[in-house]
Amino acid sequence: MTSIQMPQLGETIVEGTILKWLKNEGDEVKADEPLFEISTDKVDTEVPSPVAGTVTKLLVAEGTTVPVGTAVMEIDDGSGASGNGSSAPEPAAAVPAAETPAAAPAQPPAMGASAAPPSPAPQVQPSGQPAPAPSVTMPDRGPRSNILSPIVRKLAHDRGIDLTTIAGTGEGGRITKADVLAATAAPAASSGTVTPLPSAGPAAAAVMVAPPSMPAGQGEDAQPMSHVRKAIAGHMLASAQQTARAWTMVEVNVDRLVRLRAEIKEKFQANFGVKLTYLPMVTRATIDALQQFPLVNSRLDGENIVTPRFVNMGIAVSYDAGLIVPVVKGADGMNTVGIARAIADLAARARSHQLQPDEVQGATFTITNPGPYGSLVSVPIINQPNAGILSLDAIQKRPVVVEDDAIAVRSMVYISMSWDHRLIDGELATRFLARVKHNLETWDFAEDLGL
């Protein structure tokens, strides 16, 4: 007598449903003939008989879900043994006779002893022989950040819904598509649907509060400010006046990044069509830190602290008309390659005056990158309403003290952040920057760069 169990199809599959009996009580079965169909979450299979014999008993009804290892059928295989002869039909079915039964009682169905069915002379790698296990490591990419999906963001954007005004009903309080649709259907239910970004209006007025007029005299030229210049002036002044700006700097050893870039920059450009700079790597490292310390990604709205669960990264770009901050939307959903491409695309279009209005709005944090021009340390003005702005300055070879008090030459960079003391305190700002530093000094970017 052989007892057939719900087979183990992998450690994480713990139960299965009997979809259909293919053999009834009294039917004769041959070895390896399908006995029944089972269904698990994403895998369905027919289960073959480990033995030849007669089906004597069906132990559960069709449609029943039972744990792996549960006896579901009995077959009289003429062995006469009962009870102890229990067998998992598969994987045992094709286990070579030399295999010993599994000793581990924790996994009874993993390998029962059974008569191995005769198998046809294999012409190729037999389906029943152990396949060479691919020696592929699948890295644990860690828990998912609590982010909003692009579809929800897009839907909200298309419908003019401020996501910060919606209470998420999804798992972990996430805002789902249904929440946005509900908010659209019943706008009165939400506490206000659109929060306009602060405009340069009041600040532009502040520009007018100027010292007494000093028109151009001899040897001086006068030109009206461009609209862009006026807007920048208003924005900067408003930020300087309205934020409680403080500043913190860390020094980062980027020796590994410099070597990695030198090694792969040509291949990267050939593969992805954009130059590999340090900015995308720093951006990726910063996004991770923002996810660790969400308050740095937040903004003040009146007396509310609004904390997006996504990262829209503003990247300060200088162009002929001045300075503009295009935004990499949903940057937390991109790897370094995606970020590199998005930045290259936005910067190129900024410089050719082809940005759309919505591409310069909605930043949740900003990075400025004066390094290429040679700046060693910068104290940027915060891009309101962000809580902070990170500055990536020039990478330089410096003598540094390394292990055992030796002095060595290393590629170093100062990375600093201007932050709004209304939202953030020094400890948080420093821990945030330390995280950025840690990421840049320890991450292996090679995998993230797809090379």
Partner 1 sequence: MAEGRAAWLLRPEGLVDYDVANEAMHDLARRRLADEIPDAVIVLQHPPVFTAGRRATADELLWDEVTVAARGGAVRRIDRGGSFTFHGPGQLVAYPIVGLGSRPDAAAHLRRLEEVAIRTCADVGVAADRRADVQTGVWVGDDKICAIGVRLLRTRVTLHGMALNCDTDLAWFDGIVACGLPDRGVTSLARVLGRDVPVAEVAPTAVGHIADVFGLTFIDPPDDVVRPFVAAAVA
Which amino acids are annotated catalytic?
Answer: 421, 425
What's the closest the beta carbon of residue 329 comes to partner 1, in angstroms?
8
3-state secondary structure of 438: helix
Strand-pairing partners, residue 414, are 251
Q: Is 223 exposed, middle or buried (0-12, 13-18, 19+ CB in 10 A)?
A: exposed
Distance CA 156, CA 193 (A): 10
Amino acid letter for position 262: A
Q: Which of 145, 101, 93, 140 is nearest to 119 (CA)?
A: 93
3-state secondary structure of 139: coil
Question: Which is nearer to partner 1, 42 or 224 (by Cβ)?
Answer: 42
What's the closest the beta carbon of residue 176 comes to partner 1, in angstroms?
5
Amino acid letter for position 404: D
Question: Which is nearer to partner 1, 122 or 160 (by Cβ)?
Answer: 122
Question: Which is nearer to partner 1, 34 or 294 (by Cβ)?
Answer: 34
Q: What is the dihedral of CA 34, 35, 39, 42, to 10 degrees?
A: -20
What's the closest the beta carbon of residue 450 comes to partner 1, in angstroms?
5
What's the closest the beta carbon of residue 382 comes to partner 1, in angstroms?
27
Distance CA 409, CA 400 (A): 6
Question: Which is nearer to partner 1, 176 or 193 (by Cβ)?
Answer: 176
Distance CA 313, CA 327 (A): 5
Question: Which is nearer to partner 1, 4 or 236 (by Cβ)?
Answer: 4
What's the closest the beta carbon of residue 40 comes to partner 1, in angstroms?
6
Question: Which is nearer to partner 1, 22 or 323 (by Cβ)?
Answer: 22
Structure tokens at 176: 């789902």
Contacts of 205 (CB under 8 A, 6+ apart): none
What's the closest the beta carbon of residue 194 comes to partner 1, in angstroms?
23
**Helix or strand run (H / E) with residue 230:** helix 227-242
What strands lie across the sheet with 2-5, from one edge to the other? 2-5, 71-76, 53-58, 28-29
- Provide the 10 A C-beta neighbour count for residue 427: 8
What's the closest the beta carbon of residue 280 comes to partner 1, in angstroms?
10
Question: Which is nearer to partner 1, 25 or 41 (by Cβ)?
Answer: 41
Distance CA 358, CA 373 (A): 28
**Helix or strand run (H / E) with residue 426:** helix 426-442
What's the closest the beta carbon of residue 131 comes to partner 1, in angstroms?
4
Distance CA 240, CA 30 (A): 84
Q: Is 351 exposed, middle or buried (0-12, 13-18, 19+ CB in 10 A)?
A: middle
Question: Which is nearer to partner 1, 171 or 403 (by Cβ)?
Answer: 171
